Amino acid sequence: MNRCGFVLAGGSSARMGRDKALLPYARATLVQHVAARVQAAAGSATLVGPPAQYGGLGYPVIPDHFTGCGPLAGIQAALASSQAGWNLVVACDMPALTAEFLARLLAAAECSGAGALVPVWPTGWLEPLCAVYRRELAGPLAEVLQRGERCAARALAGLGVAHWPISEPEYFENLNTPKEWARRCQVRAGLPHGPLLGAGAP
Query: How would residue 124 be classed by pLDDT, with cut points 50, 70 and 90?
Result: confident
Query: How would residue 183 be classed by pLDDT, with cut points 50, 70 and 90?
Result: confident
Element holding 130 (H helix, E strand): strand 130-134
Q: Looking at residue 159, what DSSP letter applies?
A: S
What is the per-residue pLDDT across 126-162, written as a single tens digit (0 to 9) for each?
Answer: 999 999 999 999 999 999 999 999 999 899 988 989 9
Q: Looking at residue 176, what DSSP letter applies?
A: -
Residue 18 burial class via C-beta count within 10 angstroms: exposed 0-12, middle 13-18, buried 19 and up: exposed
How many CB atoms lie under 10 A from the CB of residue 61?
Answer: 19
In percent, the amount of the chain with pLDDT more than 90 equals 62
How far apart CA 36 and CA 98 sit, in angstroms, is 10
pTM: 0.88
What is the per-residue pLDDT across 37-79, written as a single tens digit (0 to 9) for each?
Answer: 999 999 999 999 999 999 999 999 999 999 889 999 999 999 9
pLDDT of residue 146: 95
How far apart CA 103 and CA 89 sit, in angstroms, is 12
Q: Does domain 3-165 have CATH number 3.30.9.10?
A: no
pLDDT of residue 169: 77
How far apart CA 100 and CA 102 sit, in angstroms, is 5
Query: How would residue 188 be classed by pLDDT, with cut points 50, 70 and 90?
Result: low
For the chain, the structural domain boundaries read 3-165
Q: Looking at residue 18, what DSSP letter applies?
A: S
Amino acid at 201: A
